[in-house]
Amino acid sequence: MKRTVFLGLFLLLLNALQAEDGYRLWLRYDLIDNKALLQQYRSALSAMSFPANSPMLAAARNELLLGLQGLLGQTPRSSGPGNTFIVRLENQKDLSPEGFTLRTVQKNIVLTAPTEKGILYGVFHFLRLLQTQQPIDHLDIASSPALPYRILDHWDNLNRRVERGYAGLSLWDWFTLPTYKDQRYTDYARANASIGINGTVLNNVNASPYILTPDWLEKAASLADVFRPYGIRVYLSVRFSSPMDIGGLHTADPLDPAVREWWRKKADEIYRYIPDFGGFLVKANSEGQPGPQNYGRTHADGANMLAEALEPHQGIIIWRAFVYSNETPEDRARQAYTEFKPLDGQFHKNVLVQVKNGPIDFQPREPFHPLFGAMPNTPLLLEVQLTQEYLGFSSHLVYLAPLFEECLNADTHINGTVSKTIKGMAGVANIGNDRNWCGHIFAQANWYAFGRLAWETGGKAAPYSAAIATEWIRQTFTNDPKVVDSIKEMMMASREIAVNYMTPLGLHHIMAYEHHYGPGPWLANAKRADWNPVYYHKADTAGVGFDRTPTGSNALEQYAPGARTQWADSNACPDQWLLWWHHVSWNHRMHTGRTLWAELCRKYYAGVDSVRWMQRRWNALRPAIDPERWQQVDMRLAIQEKNAVEWRNACLLYFQTFSRQPLPETAERPDHTLEYYQQHKIDYAPGTNQ
C-alpha 371/C-alpha 350 separation (Å) is 19
Query: Can you give the three-state secondary structure of 78-106, one letter per residue?
Result: CCCCCCEEEEEECCCCCCCCCCEEEEEEC
As a 3-state breakdown, the chain gives helix, strand, coil percent values, each rounded to 5, of: 45, 10, 45
The yes or no reply on residue 206 touching ligand GCV (CB under 6 A) is yes
Q: Residue 162 has what DSSP assignment?
A: B
Q: Please, what is the minimum distance in Å from the beta carbon of residue 322 to ligand GCV?
A: 5
Site string for ligand GCV, 250-289 (x = CB under 6 A): ---------------------------------x---x--
Q: Which of 361, 434, 471, 599 is catalytic?
A: 361
Pairing of strands 84-89, 47-49: parallel
Q: Please, what is the minimum distance in Å from the beta carbon of residue 417 to ligand GCV?
A: 24
Q: Closer CB to ligand GCV, residue 117 or residue 239?
A: 239
Q: Residue 509 has what DSSP assignment?
A: -
Q: Closer CB to ligand GCV, residue 61 or residue 396?
A: 396
C-alpha 352/C-alpha 358 separation (Å) is 18
Burial 10-27 (b: 16+ CB within 10 A, else e): eeeeeeeeeebebebbbb
DSSP string over 206-267? S--GGGGSHHHHHHHHHHHHHHGGGT-EEEEE--TTHHHHTT--S---TT-HHHHHHHHHHH
The yes or no reply on residue 325 touching ligand GCV (CB under 6 A) is no
Q: Please, what is the minimum distance in Å from the beta carbon of residue 239 to ligand GCV?
A: 13
Q: Verify whether residue 599 is a known catalytic residue.
A: no
Strand partners, 100: 143
C-alpha 390/C-alpha 293 separation (Å) is 29
C-alpha 16/C-alpha 383 separation (Å) is 39
The yes or no reply on residue 322 touching ligand GCV (CB under 6 A) is yes
Greatest Cα pair distance in the chain: 85
Q: Closer CB to ligand GCV, residue 531 or residue 613?
A: 531
Q: Which phi and psi angles does 573 have, rounded to 5°? A: -55, 130
Residue 506: exposed, middle, or buried by beta-carbon count in 10 A (0-12, 13-18, 19+)? buried
Q: Which phi and psi angles does 352 have, rounded to 5°? A: -120, 140
The yes or no reply on residue 332 touching ligand GCV (CB under 6 A) is no
Q: Closer CB to ligand GCV, residue 146 or residue 426?
A: 426
Q: Which of 20, 63, 301, 389 is catalytic?
A: 389
- The answer to whether the Cα torsion of 358, 360, 361, 367 is positive or negative is negative
Q: Verify whether residue 331 is a known catalytic residue.
A: no
Q: Closer CB to ligand GCV, residue 318 or residue 614?
A: 318
Q: Closer CB to ligand GCV, residue 206 or residue 251?
A: 206
Q: Closer CB to ligand GCV, residue 381 or residue 601?
A: 381
Q: Using an 8 Å Cβ cutoff, are 162 and 170 in contact? A: yes
Which residues have a Cβ under 8 Å from the Cβ of 673 and sit 6 or more positions away? 653
CA 97 to chain centre: 24
Contact positions with ligand GCV (CB under 6 A) in 121-180 = 155, 163-164
Q: Closer CB to ligand GCV, residue 514 or residue 641?
A: 514
Size of the site for ligand GCV (CB under 6 A): 10
- Of 170, 255, 167, which is closest to residue 208 (Cα–Cα)? 170
Contact positions with ligand GCV (CB under 6 A) in 354-413 = 361, 389
Q: Verify whether residue 389 is a known catalytic residue.
A: yes
3-class SS of residue 595: strand
Q: Please, what is the minimum distance in Å from the beta carbon of residue 371 to ligand GCV?
A: 15
- Of 82, 100, 80, 81, which is closest to residue 90 (Cα–Cα)? 100
Selected from 38, 45, 205, 512, the binder of ligand GCV by CB under 6 A is 205
Provide the 10 A C-beta neighbour count for residue 311: 17
Q: Please, what is the minimum distance in Å from the beta carbon of residue 479 to ligand GCV?
A: 38
Q: Please, what is the minimum distance in Å from the beta carbon of residue 348 to ligand GCV?
A: 23
Q: Please, what is the minimum distance in Å from the beta carbon of residue 385 to ligand GCV?
A: 8
Q: Closer CB to ligand GCV, residue 237 or residue 500?
A: 237
C-alpha 239/C-alpha 254 separation (Å) is 13
3-class SS of residue 183: helix
Q: Closer CB to ligand GCV, residue 426 or residue 499?
A: 426
Q: Which of 287, 311, 330, 626 is catalytic?
A: 287
Q: Please, what is the minimum distance in Å from the beta carbon of residue 258 to ligand GCV?
A: 29
Distances (CA, A) of 538 to 403, 510, 564: 25, 11, 22
- Contact set with ligand GCV (CB under 6 A): 155, 163-164, 205-206, 283, 287, 322, 361, 389
Active site residues: 287, 361, 389
